[in-house]
Amino acid sequence: MSESAVTKSFTVTGMTCGNCERHVRHAAEKVAGVASVQVDRPANRATVSFDPAQTSPEAIAAAITAAGYDTAVSSGGASGQW
């Protein structure tokens, strides 16, 4: 991952169990450029570190949505140069 890595938070709704957390994590990890994913089901949040030269928050949100969970890029929780 490049030095310009970005960490962004996503609001993810519809998770009801640990398996949901795993599905969300795996969906985000499949996106090229994603370095790490942390999912917090009680907070309805996924925090993703990625290379903005390879992907975007919209692409990550689309992957999580395609896995069956309503997803939006959170307005806060970002770091890096995005």
Q: Does some domain include residue 47?
A: yes
Query: What range does the domain containing 65 cover?
Result: 6-73
pLDDT the model gives residue 82:
37
Go through 57-77 and write b for each residue having 16 or more CB atoms within 10 A of its CB, e for each that does not.
beebbebbbebebebebbeee
**pLDDT value for 79:** 47
User: What is residue 3's predicted lDDT score, i.e. its pLDDT?
Assistant: 65
CATH of the domain at 69: 3.30.70.100
Residue 82 lies in a domain: no
- Domain assignment present for residue 79? The answer is no
pLDDT by residue for the chain (82 residues), tens only, comes to 456 889 999 999 999 999 999 999 999 999 999 999 999 999 999 999 999 999 999 999 999 999 999 999 986 544 443 3
Q: How many domains does the chain have?
A: 1
Q: Is residue 78 part of a domain?
A: no
